[in-house]
């Protein structure tokens, strides 16, 4: 059991969606499970997300826009690991369960920017190419998903680290 405590409008809509799925499942005797994910990254990710945005900006010589101090911590899970987890849940999971799919890849925005500069062999210094803007009013300092024992018991394990 996990008590939901959404602290911003986006989190509230996600919590509402979970309750809607559960209520339909229970009301109409439909099988369901709920999968909670952390931030997913990988090929064909939406360009407005932090990783593809930073890569594009570095390659185009543009500044990296950092909201707040850049120390907001998030978990990042590679898309292939997510696909594998969902496949395992579909084939081995039990109905009416909640599966948390997390990772050990805990990074802040500045770590991601430094990593991208390093991987793209950029000789630019982070301080020279960052532009700090006001933090979003609803940004949490730390948002991470811990992998539940349920998904581990089905045999899932993260395969790709952020490195």
Are the C-beta atoms of 66 and 131 separated by less than 8 Å? yes
Task: Give the closest residue to 39 by CA, choosing from 69, 73, 71.
Answer: 73
Q: Give 42's pLDDT tier (boundaries 50, 70, 90).
A: very high
Model's pTM, two decimal places? 0.86
Are the C-beta atoms of 59 and 122 separated by less than 8 Å? no
- CATH class name, domain 33-153: alpha beta
Work out the percent of the chain whose per-residue pLDDT is above 90. Answer: 69
* pLDDT, position 102: 87
Q: How far apart are CA 97 and CA 1, in angstroms?
A: 9
Q: What is the CA radius of gyration of the chain?
A: 18
Query: In 39-124, which residue ranges form alpha helices assigned H by DSSP?
Result: 50-59, 79-92, 109-119
1-20: average pLDDT: 85
* pLDDT, position 137: 74
Q: Is the pLDDT of residue 1 over 90?
A: no
Task: Render the burial of 130-151: b for 16+ CB within 10 Å, e for the rest.
Answer: beeeeeeeeeeeeebbebbebb
* pLDDT, position 79: 97
Host H or E run for residue 127: helix 126-129
Work out the percent of the chain whose per-residue pLDDT is above 70. Answer: 94
64-118 confidence digits (pLDDT tens): 999 999 999 988 999 999 999 999 999 999 999 999 998 877 899 999 999 999 9
32-43: average pLDDT: 94
* pLDDT, position 103: 87
Per domain, the residue ranges of the chain are: 33-153
């Amino acid at each position: 059991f996990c008590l939901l405590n959404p602290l911003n409008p986006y989190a509230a809509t996600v919590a509402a969606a979970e309750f809607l799925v559960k209520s339909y499942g229970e009301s109409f005797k439909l099988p369901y499970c709920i999968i909670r994910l952390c931030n997913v990254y990988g090929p064909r990710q939406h360009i407005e997300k932090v990783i593809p945005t930073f890569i594009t900006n570095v390659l185009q010589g543009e500044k990296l826009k950092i909201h707040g101090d850049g120390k907001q911590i998030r978990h990042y899970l590679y898309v292939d690991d997510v696909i594998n987890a969902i496949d395992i849940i579909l084939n081995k999971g039990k109905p009416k369960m909640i599966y948390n799919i997390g990772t050990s890849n805990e990074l802040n925005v500045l770590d991601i920017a430094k990593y991208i500069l390093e991987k793209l062999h950029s000789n630019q210094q982070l301080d020279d190419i960052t532009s700090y803007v006001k933090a979003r009013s609803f940004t949490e300092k730390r948002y991470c998903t811990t992998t539940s024992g349920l998904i581990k018991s089905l045999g899932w394990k993260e395969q790709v680290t952020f490195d």
